[in-house]
Amino acid sequence: MSRRTVEGWLAELWPPAPWLAALRRASGRWPAPPFIDTPTDADLTVIADLHADAFSRGWSEAEIAALLADPGVAAVVARRASPYGTRRPVGFAITRAAADEAEVLTIAVHPRWRGCGVGRELLEALLRRHYADRIASVFLEVADDNAAAVALYRRLRFVVVGERRGYYAAGGGSAGHALVMRLDLR
């Protein structure tokens, strides 16, 4: 796990985790929703931490930096509008485009911010970009028992177009199975 800054700890302290989604639901506007932004090199540590928290196989900062340098890759972060002005990312998403197709490579939201609409906003931002770039279809693979991710993708109108049995050797999915999902943008 990479080094966490004091600023990062402060941003994670308030509001306490169980209150967050409830406060957002109740007030409709507080805490202020994270805003979508382009990642910079200063975000690599936080992105690596978010990825390591969400997946069994973490990506190093160097791996993420190499990925973001790929001209076909698009990435967004959701920054927290913090009272301390930290603007620390609470989620990120990465896609890769080739010809007229794109693929969702990864998406993760900090556990405290899940269920607040951050994942949907991250993907919608990338889908809008791909639509403007005349991408025809977006594909992804997801473990068949990842209910939150499957719900998010269905919400965005991805449909299941295939299954890869035994795709996750380390046991993700009910028996390591992946669903292949597709969204037609045109």
Residues that bind ligand COA (CB under 6 A): 54, 107-109, 114-120, 142, 146-149, 151-152, 155
The residue (of 135 and 158) whose beta carbon lies closer to ligand COA is: 158
The residue (of 179 and 185) whose beta carbon lies closer to ligand COA is: 179
| 86 CB-contact burial (10 Å; exposed 0-12 / middle 13-18 / buried 19+) | middle
Number of residue whose CB is nearest ligand COA: 119
**Coil, strand, or helix at residue 97?**
strand
Cβ at position 101, least distance to ligand COA in Å? 17
Q: Looking at 141, 163, 167, 168, which residue is catalytic?
A: 141
Which tokens belong to 37? 């932004």
The residue (of 134 and 171) whose beta carbon lies closer to ligand COA is: 171
Start-to-end C-alpha separation, the chain: 41
Cβ at position 183, least distance to ligand COA in Å? 14
Cβ at position 77, least distance to ligand COA in Å? 13
The residue (of 44 and 118) whose beta carbon lies closer to ligand COA is: 118
Residue 141: active-site member: yes
| Cα dist from 163 to 16, 23, 28, 105, 172, whole Å | 39, 38, 38, 17, 14
Q: Looking at 121, 153, 167, 168, which residue is catalytic?
A: 153
Q: What is the DSSP letter of 33?
A: P
Q: Which residue matches tokens 């090199």? A: 41
Residue 18: which of 92, 131, 107, 113 has the closest Cα? 113
Strands 101-109 and 137-143 come out as: parallel
Residue 167: active-site member: no
Cβ at position 105, least distance to ligand COA in Å? 9
Which residues are designated catalytic?
141, 153
